[in-house]
Amino acid sequence: MPIIRQAELRDAAPLAALAERTFRDTFEAANTPEDMALHCREHYREALQGQEILDPGLTTLVCEHDGELVAFAQLRRDPPPPCVPSARPLEIQRLYVASAWHGKGLAQELMRHCLTQAESEGADQVWLGVWEHNPRAIAFYRKFGFQEVGNHIFPLGTDPQCDLILVRPAVV
């Protein structure tokens, strides 16, 4: 099983590559090449992931197997949308597992690390946005007790998409 650890600056390049690959694998079939290219240009490159790893408002967790990154999650401390009923919220901004590792329990292990991190820093609720047309991820989050409290717009390139907002208590 991969090890899960906090990202370090040396992870920036492989993390950028993994983030783009998993994003494309997940959403390419349902979106235009132009919107995918725009999104990837704006969000994934070594310098950006390097900034994210160093950002005190973010925690980046990576899963490493045989020297390769195979999954990651990012936790963010930005203010949540008004529908999130929380005084001390923490957002799972991204949680992506390489397709070869789907269905093997790694995503559950990574989620447990996210919840442990949330609990240890005193968060009361964990929230996230998930595309309304991503049934596997929605099923995964529901298994962890996340419940829908609203929605917001997630711009994918030029396309304003509807993300469901899901919330659960920050206890492991």
**Residues found near ligand COA in the complex (CB under 6 A):** 22, 26, 95-97, 102-103, 107, 130, 134-137, 139-140, 143
Residues 69 and 27: beta-carbon distance below 8 Å = no
Residue 136 CB, shortest distance to ligand COA, in Å, is 4
Residues 46 and 9: beta-carbon distance below 8 Å = no
Residue 45 CB, shortest distance to ligand COA, in Å, is 19
Helix intervals (H) in the chain: 12-27, 33-43, 46-54, 106-120, 135-143
99/22 Cα distance (integer angstroms): 8
The candidate with the shortest Cα–Cα distance to 60, out of 112, 108, 106, 117, is: 117
- Nearer CB in complex with ligand COA: 10/143: 143
Residues 60 and 96: beta-carbon distance below 8 Å = no
- Nearer CB in complex with ligand COA: 47/116: 116
Q: Which residue has the closest beta carbon to ligand COA?
A: 107
- Nearer CB in complex with ligand COA: 5/136: 136
Residue 51 CB, shortest distance to ligand COA, in Å, is 21
Task: Please name the amino acid found at residue 93.
Answer: Q
- Nearer CB in complex with ligand COA: 19/170: 19
Half-sphere exposure of 11 (CA within 13 A, CB side): 24
Residue 35 CB, shortest distance to ligand COA, in Å, is 16
- Nearer CB in complex with ligand COA: 9/102: 102
Residue 169 CB, shortest distance to ligand COA, in Å, is 19
53/157 Cα distance (integer angstroms): 23
